[in-house]
């Protein structure tokens, strides 16, 4: 999973000399919060965010007349004076995992994606990551979640995959989670079917415990509190 597959390619950008009002208008029109700042050769020069604009133009009133009246006060404000000049960037060949860790560590809402020559290739925002994960988790596809408890040893997942495959059922996703009991793992199988009774029975026949997902959740709670 590479950034290039998940990033937004049609990037809305501004120039250093653009005004903040132009930037505001672009963000409102496209419902976005981050604008990369580029030069005429598509080199990344910085980023300006919704928060930068709000700090620079602290308009609190909602009524349109006052808003229009205040606009001239801001007409001369330029993007270059308010942008972040050295934004956190990522490369198209970073993985999604890299991007998650970078965005979390740097506490930013989006990263411009640049190639090795500093040219802007795209932007990856938290929204893009959400879309990616909705896709990865198979949430959009019809299926059923089964939670299976297994011992942590080699070959367990294979048995489960084999059993599901024998039923001619496809996987939407598989998540492996730590279980509070030592040497155990909870497997969340998202199966693309309505027909899970036989799979559940097979799991039991293989001596795997099929967990009630709510039971799992409730028993997790005190653990989370102890944190």
Q: Which is nearer to another protein, 212 or 225 (CB)?
A: 212
Smallest separation (angstroms) from another protein to the CB of 197:
5
The answer to whether the beta carbons of residues 88 and 106 sit under 8 Å apart is: yes
Nearer to another protein (CB atom), residue 101 or residue 133: 133
Shorter beta-carbon distance to another protein: residue 73 or 167 = 167
Shortest CB 140 distance to another protein, Å: 7
Min. distance of Cβ 67 from another protein in angstroms? Answer: 29
Minimum distance from CB of 189 to another protein (Å)?
12
Please report, as ranges, the residues that interact with another protein according to CB under 8 A: 139-145, 168-170, 192-198, 200, 212-215
Q: In three state form, how does the secondary structure of the chain look?
A: CEHHHHCECCCCCECCCCEHHHHHHHHHHHCCCEEEEECCCCEEEEEEEHHHHHHHCCCCCCCHHHHHHHHHHHCCCEHHHCCECCCCCECCCCEHHHHHHHHHHHCCCEEEEECCCCEEEEEEEHHHHHHHHHHHCCCCCCCEEEEEEEECCCCHHHHHHHHHHHCCCCEEEEEEEECCCCCEEEEEEEECCCCCHHHHHHHHHCCCEEECHHHHHHHHHHHHHHC
Q: Please identify, using beta-carbon distances, which residue of 51 and 217 lies nearer to another protein.
A: 217
Report the nearest approach of another protein to the CB of residue 143 (Å): 6
In angstroms, give the least distance from the CB of 179 to another protein: 18
Structure tokens belonging to residue 39: 């030069």
Q: Which is nearer to another protein, 11 or 196 (CB)?
A: 196
Q: Given the complex with another protein, which of 58 and 140 has the nearer CB atom?
A: 140
């Amino acid at each position: 999973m590479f950034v290039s597959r998940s990033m937004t390619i049609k990037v809305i950008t501004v120039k250093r000399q653009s005004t903040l009002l132009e930037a505001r208008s672009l963000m409102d029109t496209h419902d976005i919060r981050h604008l990369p700042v580029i030069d005429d050769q598509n080199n990344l020069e910085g980023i300006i965010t919704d928060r930068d604009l709000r700090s620079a133009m602290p308009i609190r009133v909602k009524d349109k007349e006052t808003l229009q009246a205040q606009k001239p006060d801001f007409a001369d404000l330029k993007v270059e004076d308010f942008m972040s000049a050295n934004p956190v960037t990522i490369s198209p060949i970073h993985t999604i995992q890299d991007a998650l860790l970078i965005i979390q560590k740097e506490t930013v809402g989006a990263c411009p994606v640049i190639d090795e020559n500093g040219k802007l290739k795209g932007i990856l925002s938290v929204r893009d990551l959400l879309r990616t994960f909705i896709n990865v988790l198979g949430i959009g596809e019809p299926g059923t979640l089964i939670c299976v408890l297994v011992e942590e040893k080699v070959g367990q997942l294979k048995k489960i995959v084999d059993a599901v495959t024998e039923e001619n059922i496809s996987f939407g996703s598989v998540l492996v989670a730590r279980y509070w009991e030592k040497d155990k793992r909870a497997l969340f199988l998202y199966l693309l079917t309505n027909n899970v009774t036989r799979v559940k029975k097979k799991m039991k026949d293989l001596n795997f415990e099929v967990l009630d997902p709510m039971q799992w959740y409730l028993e997790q709670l005190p653990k989370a509190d102890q944190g």
